[in-house]
Amino acid sequence: MGEARFETSVGGGIERVLCRPETPTHRTPILFLHGMWHGAWCWRGWQELFAAKGWASTAISLPGHGGSPKTKSVRFSTMQDYLAVLEAEIARYPTPPILIGHSMGGALAQWRLAKVADDLPAVVAIASWTSHSTYADGTLLHLKRDPWGFMAMGFTWSSTPLVRSPKWAASLLITEGALISPEELHAKLCEESYLVLSQHNPPAWRPKKNVATPMLWVAGEKDAVISLNGARRSAEFYGADFLAVPNAGHNLMMESGQAETAAKIEAWLSAKNL
């Protein structure tokens, strides 16, 4: 297919990294949405892999993340703030794009389906926050792994203590042998709100039943953020196809098997004739 062509721009306070394949073969573009602490940068490997299969894609950075400037304190950003950014981005397309969201980005995809419109051609949830509660499916994992970091969030109103050093960032997000080192990963991470994490729970959040949008739920079997059982229950709730990736941590797009995972996602999308 040739080399992918990248174009980076910042407009309206949002960084956009556009990746164009040399030979486009799919008419529906992909929109990549990152999770907590990350930015558009985290998708570059997958954008190249999808471009090799003929997919055009754009990865965006939420305000205060990646190359996007701060429009308000990230610490006090809300899911409503981020959802408004996502909706404005989708509105830029002539028709809605495929949405691939990681972690909090997967939660925002669910929020859009429930609170805005159930009109996307497909959603791929990558190590996403679960359908019903981050407390039920993630809190116990955090308390066991890093009790001080979890408690510090309540004191600081920031989730940054969870990734306070290369050691702690790596233990949360990647496994040994990942394609990025703990030091490189930690250097790229930014501050993140604690409010967004708390909002994805009752009574602030209720998932939509019987969504019409086709969904693929992808989970890492060694994810330190989301339990595998919680991911599987979420896929069942949405009637989504489910893919468990062996020996993979939370940042599936940075793990050693990232190409194989991307290929399985691409095959699922291609089968939908999008």
Set out the domains of the chain in order of their start, with CATH numbers.
Answer: 5-269 (3.40.50.1820)
The count of other CB atoms within 10 Å of the CB of residue 177 is 10
Q: Which H or E run includes 93?
A: none
Instruction: Yes or no: say if 139 and 200 are a contact pair by the CB < 8 Å rule.
Output: no
Q: Report pLDDT digits (tens) over 189-207.
A: 999 998 998 899 888 899 9
Mean per-residue pLDDT for 38-55? 97
Q: What's the CA angle centered on 36, arms 251 and 11, to 5 degrees?
A: 110
Instruction: Yes or no: say if 68 and 15 are a contact pair by the CB < 8 Å rule.
Output: yes
Q: How confident is the model at residue 3 (pLDDT cuts 50, 70, 90)?
A: confident
The upper half-sphere exposure of residue 138, i.e. CA atoms within 13 Å in the direction of its Cβ, equals: 24
| Burial class, 54, CB count within 10 angstroms (exposed 0-12 / middle 13-18 / buried 19+) | middle
pTM over 0.85: yes
| Token code pair at residue 93 | 């397309």
Strand 98-102 to 215-220 pairing: unpaired
Mean per-residue pLDDT for 39-54? 97
Q: How confident is the model at residue 1 (pLDDT cuts 50, 70, 90)?
A: very low
Report CA-CA distances (Å) from 182 to 33, 47, 178, 210: 22, 22, 9, 40
Interatomic CA distance for residues 197 and 153, integer angstroms: 10
The pLDDT assigned to 269 comes to: 97
Q: Mean pLDDT score of the chain, rounded to an integer?
A: 93
**Rounded percentage of the chain residues whose pLDDT exceeds 70:** 96
